[in-house]
Chain A
Amino acid sequence: MHTNLLKWSLLLSAVVALCLSAVSYAQLTTNQQQEWLNSPAASSHVGNLSGSAHAAALPYRRYCVGCHGPLGDGVGENAPWINPQPRNFQLAIFKCRSTPTGTLPTDQDLYDSIGRGLDRSNMPSWNVLTKQERTDLVAWIKHFSPRWQNEKPGTPIQIPAEPEITPDRVKAGQEVFRKMECWKCHGVQGMANGPSSSTLTDDLGRPISPFNFTDGSRPLCGSTDSDIYKIFMTGLDGTPMPSFADNIKPEEAWDLVFYLRSLQPHNAYNAKERQIANQLGLKPVNPNAPAQ
């Protein structure tokens, strides 16, 4: 009887000690995040809406926590079955930005990603939530990372007005595609089968495919011409896709957009590009052509 009591009390104290240590570990991060939740950075402005992180606590629990986790570290209970892994908001590295590589996105960028969802991932479109809810969620996302306390979002890249599409521009765009060696990953016909495509990994070391222009997929960060412009000028941080802002001039960038459009199957945006490419009889780029 006596020994039994001793055994039980030992076991109990061990359990209590374990629980305490687990709690205190988790507490550290939640404490910090609690502090950040009450900081000025945990707010957002999208158009004429202002978001408050506090208001998003419930919607986050309801819609986001399963994948992104209570601490926003991207390892919620569904995460083991999801590829690519849900975004880790603590690191604050985002693919879809209007800002240069290595900088934080704007509130608008995060708001757009929530509403649009990310094609070819498990992130659905959340445009069923009200605009106010989505704006609040942007503020909530920002309370997870110390980066929002210390850094400002980058300055969005300048996108000049879209010029008139001409055959010369489509041809020039193909030359940019060849010179920048986009085909190394995306393939000479944009079929995601370039020589480097099979060894690409994301920042977590997981295999990742380049975008296939020909299979009807939506571009990751939006379907408009300027969305495509932004993708290659800012890069998709966290993935192999680099920023070309230093190497592609703004006019050339529009040429490249037109050429990329011509690779896509018929959609709502590219009738003219496809027609021009057809008339020109454009052949896929030749990777063995001497560099100029």
Chain B
Amino acid sequence: MKQQHKRGLAAVLVILVLVGLGALVISQKVSAAGAGKISGTVKLDGAAPHMRGIDMSKDPFCDNAHKSDPAHSENVVVGKGNGLENVVLYISEGLSGDAANAKSTQVPVFDQKNCMYTPHVLAMDVGQEFKVQTSDQTAHNIHPEPNPLTGNIPWNQSQPPGAAPVTKSWKTPEMIHVKCNIHPWMSGWFAVVKGPYATTDENGAYTIQNVPAGSYTVTAWQETLGTQTQKVTVAAGAAAAADFTFKAK
């Protein structure tokens, strides 16, 4: 009786392994086709929220830099036609094998300029190198705050005027908040994702390049409005469309 039970269990296990292997092989084939892209627009539904002005009078350099162009917080930046800027789009499901592991050799730059972060949100691939630099004649410290239990370890480095850029990378996908303790209004994001990604421009438009043919879930992430997902199918070498709308809070 016991023996029989064991045999049954073994059979189930074997079947599970075979099914798993089969799924792997099939998904491998999907990714082998030519690269397409996913593009679209991200919009805000509703009135653009008020972005607080920033008082930089504590630091004369920062204050002077914004004399003619007052600084505002950048949590929700709305452009023409209610397009949402700084939304990160990435493929959250359906990527396999090579496409998931392909790394961009580009080194995106996160600049500390006029006591603000440019860009406000810097998207990057897991393991992709990025640079943090300063264009300011005032000291900053660059202090990302990931959760160390994810595998991304927080650090905190000074960037006085004229400091050399620092080159870093992150180990796992995570939306990492970045701050400067010296200038408490400075707030930005490292959006670390796996696979191809895009960030919306000032009109809310985006294009994710180098997407192999296949069926995917695309996620749009906005720092205060949260995430939205959509199923998208990309044909070999073709362009697919996915528009997103976030409700204003």
Contacts and interface: CB of A to CB of B under 8 A. Distances in A.
Interface string B170-206: 0000000000011110000000000000000000000
A90 to B, nearest CB: 7
Contact of B181 (A101, A151, A196, A246): A196
Contact of A246 (B143, B149, B157): B157
Most buried by B among A146, A184, A200: A184
Interface string A237-277: 10111111111000000000000000000000000000000
A203 B59 contact: no
Given A90-B149, A184-B139, A196 B158 contact: no
Given A237-B154, A242-B143, A93 B148 contact: yes
B163 interface: yes
Contacts of A203: 145, 154
A235 interface: yes
Contact of B138 (A145, A181, A201): A181
B49 interface: no
Given A91-B148, A184-B139, A243 B181 contact: no
Contacts of B137: 291
Interface string A185-206: 1000000000110011101000
A179 interface: yes
Interface residues of B, number: 29
A92 interface: yes
Contact of A102 (B58, B59, B139, B154): B154
Interface in B117-163: 137-139, 141-143, 145, 148-149, 151, 153-161, 163
Contact of B156 (A145, A146, A151, A237): A237
Interface string B37-68: 00000000000000000000011100000000
A92 B148 contact: yes
Interface string A157-188: 00000000000000000000001110011000
SS class, residues of chain B in contact with chain A? loop
B158 A180 contact: yes
B58 to A, nearest CB: 5
Given A180-B139, A291-B137, A242 B58 contact: no
A103 interface: yes
A242 B141 contact: yes
A240 B143 contact: yes
Contacts of B59: 184, 195-196
B60 A181 contact: no
Contacts of A102: 153-156
Contact of A291 (B142, B153, B161, B184): B161
B153 to A, nearest CB: 5
A286 to B, nearest CB: 13
30 contacts: A90-B149, A91-B148, A91-B149, A93-B148, A101-B156, A102-B154, A146-B149, A147-B153, A179-B160, A180-B160, A196-B183, A196-B184, A199-B184, A200-B184, A201-B181, A235-B155, A240-B143, A240-B181, A242-B141, A242-B142, A242-B143, A242-B156, A243-B155, A243-B158, A245-B157, A246-B157, A246-B158, A246-B164, A246-B166, A247-B159
